[in-house]
Amino acid sequence: MIPFKAVAIDMDGTFLKDDKSYDKKLFSELLNKMKERNIHFIVASGNQFERTRLDFTEYWKDMSFVAENGMYLVDDGKDLSYEQLDRSLVEELVEFMAQRPELTPALCGKENAYLEKNSDSKFVKMMKYYLPKHKIVDSFEQLPDDVFFKFTVDVPKEKTLSTVDEINEKFAGRVFATSSGFGNFDLILPHVNKAVGLEKMLASWNLTLDDLVAFGDGGNDLEMLKAAGLSYAMENGSDEVKKVADKIAPNNNDSGALKVLADYLM
């Protein structure tokens, strides 16, 4: 008997290999098996929805998405729900970061992500991959007309943790800074994460987190792995993630998550 009715999977370092590819033949076969058994497949990512949609061009309408670390939910090709940063809070954060020239922010919205034209060129090049739906603006002093999900911020590696701590103290209860690796962090609502988004999506199908198997490798997967009825940390994942997961999946470069699913479904 298959011990889950839904699958939630992180992208970078989990589903994707380091070169951003995945075994499309195996995935297509597994997605068909899941559809036959009425098992939902959910991408749970900190990435922009458009980035993950492009990773699944042929399949995305048969899948569901918990994007932007739980801020934006898409099911059956349609918006299910979204959370947003209050506009006045966005303005405060812009002012705060403007006083710290070592910080380079990208503002992630529902219609587009936004990058300032004077941003560091290396940061812009990296963000163009992760934020394929984006616009370059003169500055964030004049905010575009959009719904805002989060900031992604580039920072010198040695200042990552101290900056995260400073923001979490200054904006406590209003915004939460979570590091996605030394050199960058996200600013999101403190009550939102992948587990919160997944719980909401599962409820729309009359399922609970107990019905879920989840796969992840990094810090923004912790809540999801703790909450899922069955959880797998990737072999290449952090020690923190491995401590909270029920089991270990093979390395992402060996299609580890897909191989685990194949053992259950094929």
Catalytic residue among 10, 12, 55, 221: 10
CATH superfamily ID and name for 6-82+192-265: HAD superfamily/HAD-like (3.40.50.1000)
106-121 confidence digits (pLDDT tens): 999 999 999 999 888 8
% helix / strand / coil in the chain, to the nearest 5?
Answer: 40, 25, 35
Which of 169, 176, 220 has the alpha carbon at shortest distance from 45? 220
Q: Using CA atoms, how far apart are residues 244 and 252, in angstroms rounded to an integer? A: 18
Under 8 Å CB-to-CB from 258, ≥6 apart: which residues? Answer: 15, 22, 23, 26, 27, 30
Could you please state the CATH topology (level 3) that the domain comprising 87-188 is classified under.
3.30.1240
Question: 87-125 burial string, b = 16+ CB within 10 Å, else e?
Answer: eebbeebbebbeeeeebbbbbbbbebbbbbeeeeeebbe
Domain span(s) for CATH 3.30.1240.10 in the chain: 87-188
Residue 218 structure tokens: 């990094």
Domain span(s) for CATH 3.40.50.1000 in the chain: 6-82+192-265
Residue 263 structure tokens: 């053992």
pLDDT lower than 50: segments of the chain: none
The per-residue pLDDT for 120 is 83
The per-residue pLDDT for 182 is 58
Q: Using CA atoms, how far apart are residues 177 and 168, in angstroms rounded to an integer? A: 6
10 belongs to the catalytic site: yes
The per-residue pLDDT for 121 is 85
DSSP 57-82: TTTGGGSEEEEGGGTEEEETTEEEEE
